[in-house]
Structure 1
Amino acid sequence: MPTQHHRQAADQPLEGRVAVIDIGSNSIRLVVYDRLSRSPTAVFNEKVLCGLGKTLERTGRLNPEGVKQALENLTRFQRLIDGMQVVRVDVLATAAVRDAADGEAFVAEVKRRTGLDIQILTGTDEARLAAMGVLSGTPGADGLAGDLGGGSLELVTLDRGIIGQQTTTPLGPLRLMESTDGKIAAATKVIDQHLSALPWIHEARGRTFYPVGGSWRALAKMHMEQANHPVHIIHHYSIAGDDAAGFAGLIARQSRSSLEKVPGVSRRRLETLSLAALVLERVVRTVQPARVVFSAFGLREGHLFELLSADHRRQDPLLTACTEIAQRLGRFGAAETISQWTAPLFAGEDENAGRLRQAACLLSDLGWAEHPDYRAEHAFLRILRMPFAGIDHAERAFLATASFVRYSGTLDGEVLAPAKGLLKDGPIQRAYILGLALRLAQTLTGGAMMMLQRTALRLGDEKLSLILPEDAAALVGEAVQRRLDSLAKALNRSGEIIIQTAPKLAG
């Protein structure tokens, strides 16, 4: 199938690889996804820092050296796309190309060299797609989303998943560097002037601010290192608003030589990092959110999300991803049956707790192909670090811990340290009980869901009963009894097995 170099709506998931090229003011990035779906997986991701907008504020034109580098890399990207047999590619250009006098000429030259059609996004488009990206990764997001690129800052209000007011401002660090010579006092004045003209952003006070963009992701990584956070995943990394403002202000006022000593920060990112930190500080101090929650999902993901039908957008991204994993990696299919089987152990759970339990059940056969001695560890680490959406770090730890217990039967082991650093006692105990229940289910039936459907758990005041029909009594063995007893003990009950005899017909 020939590659489609254009943007059009898709009413349903598209089979075959899809690509998005994001031409920003500072960087150009190609991401190839396995397909267009509610939970797409990136199979290739490459970024080049070209600095197209580096001279825009001073000259009104794109940076000539950046143009040269961009054309070279876009030609490379086009060859990669064809080689990967991508069925659809969309190329999106943002502030630099939009505002430059020679932006249209750049678009025409890209078309001539590569055949790629570039869509130049308006500021409104850019803001909307950034907000859509946040919502794709954090359904129900509530507060204010901010997407910082090299040339602009987009701000969008979010009301429990509904996009509200939006704007674009010329507060990208490349522009600020040119307009203020990189001087913090002058840049602060410019930023505050623009923010003061947006009274509606104060609606997010006491709620959540969702930062998007590469420079702000770099700040999140630096904060993780400083805080010794146990999971180095940007998406849904959460900081108290006051802490975020203080940290960003500190970074904004560091010298370049000091920042160069910070591990994990790209040297090319250092050029704009201080001003990016200053923008974050000023936004947070102005808006005063309770939390700052970083989003790894932005314009590219928002573009794909917008292409989906409304029905597909309403799907839960976590459960969609877990279902696909179960179908691809599980041995027996229909893993959601385990969710119904474990439900009696968790009476009264709220909607999100039930959702997490269902996700854990879908992932319960994840490690079967690993070496037996390492199944628990592999399953734990894999789930903890998977690129899931719709989940925070504590919830990751819950799923990973439940899977670890499913394979190990215990909460022992240094590998669990990251999870224990994120979970309170209650969720840890809940993950332990769920993991033991999954272990029992797999031992009882070997993972055959149709067999499991004929059995049931019943939680009484003093006993945990495993109920089987008479013709399934042969499933009971020493291993089943032992694992039932372990689960019952975790629930402060004693375990019993009840064999139900079929009623005799009268007559």
Structure 2
Amino acid sequence: MARKMTAPKKPYRGSGAKNRSATFAALDLGTNNCRLLVADRAGDGFRVLDSYSRIVRLGEGLASSGQLSETAMDRAVEALKNCKTKLDKYRNCQVRCITTQACRAASNGNEFLQRVKKTTGLKLETISPKEEAKLALLGSLDLVDDSKDFTLVVDIGGGSTELSWVDAKAAKRRGVSGSAARPPILGWASFPVGVVTLSETFPEHADGGDPFWYDKLVEYVVKLLRENDAADRFGPLFEAGRGQLLGTSGTVTSLAAVHLGLSKYTRSAVDGVWVSQEGMDAARDKLRFATPEKRATEPCIGPDRAELVLAGCAILDAVWQIWPSERLRAADRGLREGVLLSLIHSNKPAGKKKRKRTRNVKNQNNTNAKPKTNALNGTDNLSDSLDKLS
């Protein structure tokens, strides 16, 4: 059944309408999952026509070997073949296929992309952490709440975690179209830790032999996050109660579903729900103090997520320690939706555009320099942006 993201409007019939794609598709091959959405335009949003999702664990073993394994690549290629079969059903479809941290980090990432193109015909684009942060925000923009000055968008992936500090009032004011052209992101940061890499770095003992295992995960991530200057820049603002969290990852939606006590995961019940920190802590503890076997029987976790969900919880706990908020909003949306919206809004009839000067931003992954929060709003110094909101 088609899923509407916004109320449909009459299609635009003006200049350039004949050249616009009738259908759009977004394929996101992550470190853990392969996801596809096919949709058509519905006003400023879209209406989902088809979808696909499969856990492939492309980044399995990457943390220790530095390479994508043959087994992991085989799983991913099979999933991508299924996606191609679905895409072949649609004519005049504008498609964007992206991949993220696993292919960014793997020494054989380019070879894998060439294999995918030769085997499936799909051309995967390895996007930067900055682009990933922008798309995650765009996909969840409707859930940004402007009752606080700042929203921290938390995207916990399989191989990395992207954080974006957003001017919430500007996000509401600009809307999807304006935010696609000029993201209201005051700063962003990418950290090379995700649910797959963290769980492999700190494997869980089935017998629960180390009572401090979970605490070690949180301590490790906190130390990593504090190396970035965003802890000092944004931490005091969140401590003053001026910010709140928006989680776009499977970790967050799974925890929210456990908190709600759902007997079966239901997107409509989870997407957009607010959960207090106490509520999320209780859901986390229910999973933390369960055996792996018991955790796998949770209806909204299952065996596929049981091994990884606590690593995601540890990352979320670390984020919450540094940028505190009374509550968090769960978003069952993210990169795929962001890709679709960026395609739709870049596909609108072209009008006159004002030329704007842009400044280059240094790569977050430069390991020779102290990590800094990068700005996406054209300012070299984040203090310029923060002073306006202080």
Q: TM-score under structure 1 normalisation?
A: 0.55
Give the drift of 1:232: 5.0
- Deviations, residues 389-428 of structure 1 (Å, cap 9, x unaligned): xxxxxxxxxxxxxxxxxxxxxxxxxxxxxxxxxxxxxxxx
2:185 to 155, 163, 168: 163
How far did residue 177 of structure 1 move? 1.3
Which piece of structure 1 moves more, 78-87 or 269-278? 78-87
In the alignment, the residues of structure 1 paired with residue 288 and residue 269 of structure 2 have an alpha-carbon distance, to the nearest angstrom, of 23
Q: Distance in 2 between matches of 1:179 and 1:230?
A: 32
Change (3 A) 1:67 1:310: closer
- The Cα of 1:307 is off from its aligned counterpart by 3.6
Deviation of residue 256 (structure 1)? 0.8
- Structure 1 counterpart of 2:258: 222
* Residue 204 (1) aligns with residue 231 (2): no
Cα offset for 1:253? 4.1
**Map 1:422-501 → 2, pairs under 5 A:** none
Match of 2:54 among 29, 48, 54: 48
Residue 82 (structure 1) aligned to one of 88, 113, 121: 88
Q: Which moves more between the two structures, 109-118 or 213-222?
A: 213-222
Q: CA-to-partner distance for each residue in 1:292-313, whole Å, 9 max, x for gaps? A: 001122111122333454998x
- The answer on whether the counterparts of 1:221 and 1:232 sit within 8 Å (CA) in structure 2 is no
Structure 2-normalised TM-score? 0.71
Contact 1:134 1:295 (C-alpha < 8 Å) held by counterparts? yes
CA distance in 2, matches of 1:310, 1:25: 27
Pick closer, same or farther for the CA change 1:215–1:137 going to 2, 3 Å. same
Judge conservation of contact 1:25–1:53 (CA < 8 Å) in 2.
Answer: yes
Give the Cα–Cα distance (whole angstroms) in 1 for the partners of residues 325 and 338 of structure 2: 23
SS in 2 for 1:303: helix
Residues 309 and 260 of structure 1: CA distance in aligned 2, closer, same or farther (over 3 Å): closer
Residues in 2 aligned to 1:242 and 1:94: alpha-carbon distance in whole angstroms? 32
Q: Structure 1 residues 201, 257: closer, same or farther in 2, change over 3 A?
A: farther
Contact 1:249–1:278 (8 Å) recurs in 2? no
CA contact (8 A) 2:97 2:122 kept: yes
Residue 177 of structure 1: which of 199, 210, 213 is its match? Answer: 199
Distance 2:145 2:23 in 1: 24
Amino acid at match of 1:213: S
Residue 491 of structure 1: aligned partner: none
Q: Cα distance, 1:79 vs. partner?
A: 2.1
- Partner secondary structure for residue 165 of structure 1: strand
For residue 45 of structure 2, what is the aligned residue in structure 1?
Answer: 39
Deviation readout 1:162-219 (Å, 9 max, x if unpaired)? 2111011122011011212233233122111112223134233422100112232222
1:145 equivalent to 2:145? Answer no
8 Å CA contact retained: 1:30, 1:77? yes
Instruction: Give the Cα separation in 2 of the matches to 1:188 and 1:35.
Output: 42
Contact persistence 2:144–2:246 (CA under 8 A): no
- The structure with the larger Rg is 1
Which range is displaced more, 38-47 or 23-32?
38-47
Unmatched segments (≥5 aa) in structure 2: 1-15, 172-183, 205-212, 349-390
Residue identity over aligned pairs, in percent, reads 23
State how 1:157-306 maps to structure 2 within 5 Å: 157-160=165-168, 161=171, 162-182=184-204, 183-198=213-228, 199=231, 200-202=233-235, 203-205=237-239, 206=241, 207-225=243-261, 233-306=269-342
Contact 1:252/1:275 (<8 A) preserved: no
Matches of 1:231 and 1:298 in 2, distance apart?
13
AA in 1 matched with 2:151: G
Q: What's the CA shift for 1:17?
A: 1.8
Aligned residue-pair number: 302
CA-CA distance at 1:15 after TM superposition: 4.7
After superposition, the C-alpha distances for 1:202-245 in whole angstroms (9 at most, x for unaligned) are 23342210011223222221111179999952221101233323
Mapped contact 1:215–1:276 kept (Cα < 8 A) = yes
Deviations 1:472-500 (A, max 9, x none): xxxxxxxxxxxxxxxxxxxxxxxxxxxxx
Distance 2:144 2:338 in 1: 11
**1-side partners of 2:98 and 2:201: how far apart?**
26
Q: Distance in 1 between matches of 2:284 and 2:61?
A: 26
The amino acid that maps onto 1:303 is V
Aligned-residue RMSD, C-alpha: 2.8
Between the aligned partners of 2:285 and 2:225, the Cα distance in structure 1 is 17
After TM superposition, give the deviation of residue 41 of structure 1 in Å: 1.5
Q: How does 1:338-417 map to 2 (within 5 A)?
A: none
Query: How far apart are the structure 1 equivalents of 2:289 and 2:111?
Result: 38
Structure 1, 221-230 or 205-214: larger mean CA deviation: 221-230
Render the CA deviation track for 1:99-119: whole Å, top value 9, x for unaligned: 111110011111111221111
Is 1:133–2:112 an aligned residue pair? no
Unaligned runs of 5+ in 1: 1-10, 313-507
User: 1:139 Cα shift?
Assistant: 7.0
Match of 1:110 in 2: 116
Gap change, CA 1:216 and 1:230, over 3 Å in 2: closer
For 1:146, give the aligned amino acid.
V
CA distance in 2, matches of 1:227, 1:257: 17
Q: How far has the Cα of 1:273 moved from its partner?
A: 1.1
